[in-house]
Amino acid sequence: MKRHIRTPETNPLANDLLQHLPADEWQRLSEDAQIITLHAADVVFSDDEPPDMAFFPLTAMISTMALMRDGDEIEYGSIGREGMLGLQVALGAQPLRGRAICQLDGEVLCLPGTSLRRAADAPELHRLLMRYAQSTINVLAQSAACNGLHSVRERTARWLLMTRDRAGDDNFPLTQAFLSKMLGSRRAGVSDAAGDLQRDGIIEYERGHIHVRDSVRLERASCECYERIRDEYARVFDT
């Protein structure tokens, strides 16, 4: 987690939530903001000492992970430029459980809790935060259902599609070991699923790098949860 000396004015608007703020609200919010660069596997947030800080991904992607006592772990959410990490900070509520790690290298705008809470009575920011909270709830509900009902193959396809959207690119770095941790499954299981997709010419895998060749067929291999979650994110910004 290396810090960059760079003013937030440079490119704050790459984040959809920030983008929807009127100028005056953004002005007020941005005073204490800072842009930092995250690298894959950086721990952004941990149970032990939750920072009083919110993070708005500009180009980075962050995954939220649940940890079990026996060491098992699984991703329960992921955050790109459509969202934020640290809603609990804005809500003045009890902290999130688990930890959050960086998934794809990139920048995040990062904001002290005090600043965010001070600005949170601004009408549009408040409205967006409330809508984003509900969106988070709806997405988590769909994820819970997906984990309960759908196969590793379907969930692999869904994960690849979502990450592709976040990366904004059909190519992105990813190892099967990493993906298996996200899905809470075996590395070998992911290898099987990805192998099938590869044999069908839908994706190409090569040493820590993946290329989505046919996103339409990948969407067919995925469960409907991909589509539903994508739509749910979009609903935040519906009038």
Partner DNA sequence: CACGGTTGATACGCTACCGTACACAGGAGC
Partner DNA sequence: GCTCCTGTGTACGGTAGCGTATCAACCGTG
188 binds a second copy (CB under 8 A): no
Q: How far is the CB of 156 from a second copy (least distance, A)?
A: 13
Q: How far is the CB of 203 from DNA (least distance, A)?
A: 9
DSSP code for 13: G
Q: Which does 232 bind (CB under 5 to 8 A by kind): DNA, a second copy, none?
A: a second copy
Residue 179 to residue 231: CA distance in whole angstroms: 23
The smaller minimum CB distance to a second copy, of residues 6 and 235, is found at 235
Residue 59 to residue 149: CA distance in whole angstroms: 31
* Phi, psi of 205, deg, nearest 5: -115, 135
Residue 108 to residue 148: CA distance in whole angstroms: 32
Residue 45 to residue 54: CA distance in whole angstroms: 10
142 binds a second copy (CB under 8 A): yes
Q: Which does 92 bind (CB under 5 to 8 A by kind): DNA, a second copy, none?
A: a second copy
Packing angle between helix 23-30 and helix 123-149, nearest 10 degrees? 80
Q: How far is the CB of 163 from DNA (least distance, A)?
A: 14
The smaller minimum CB distance to DNA, of residues 58 and 194, is found at 194
HEC assignment per residue over 55-122: EEECCCEEEEEEECCCCCEEEEEEECCCCCECHHHHHCCCCCCCEEEEEECEEEEEEEHHHHHHHCCC
6 binds DNA (CB under 7 A): no
Helix, strand, coil fractions of the chain, as percent rounded to 5: 45, 25, 30
Residue 201 to residue 153: CA distance in whole angstroms: 15
Residue 159 to residue 152: CA distance in whole angstroms: 10
The smaller minimum CB distance to DNA, of residues 81 and 181, is found at 181
Q: Which residues in 139-178 contact DNA (CB under 7 A)?
A: 151-153, 174-177
The smaller minimum CB distance to DNA, of residues 153 and 158, is found at 153
Which of 48, 49, 121, 206: binder of DNA (CB under 7 A)?
A: 206
Residues 210-229, one symbol each (x = binds a second copy by CB under 8 A, - = not), give -------------xx---x-
Query: What amino acid occupies position 231?
Result: D
96 binds a second copy (CB under 8 A): yes
* Phi, psi of 67, deg, nearest 5: -115, 135
Which of 135, 156, 163, 180: binder of a second copy (CB under 8 A)?
A: 135
Binding interface with DNA (CB under 7 A)? 151-153, 174-177, 184-189, 191-195, 198, 205-209
Q: List residues binding a second copy (CB under 8 A).
A: 64, 66, 68-69, 72, 74, 76-77, 87-88, 91-94, 96-98, 127, 130-131, 133-138, 140-145, 147-149, 183-184, 223-224, 228, 232, 235-236, 238
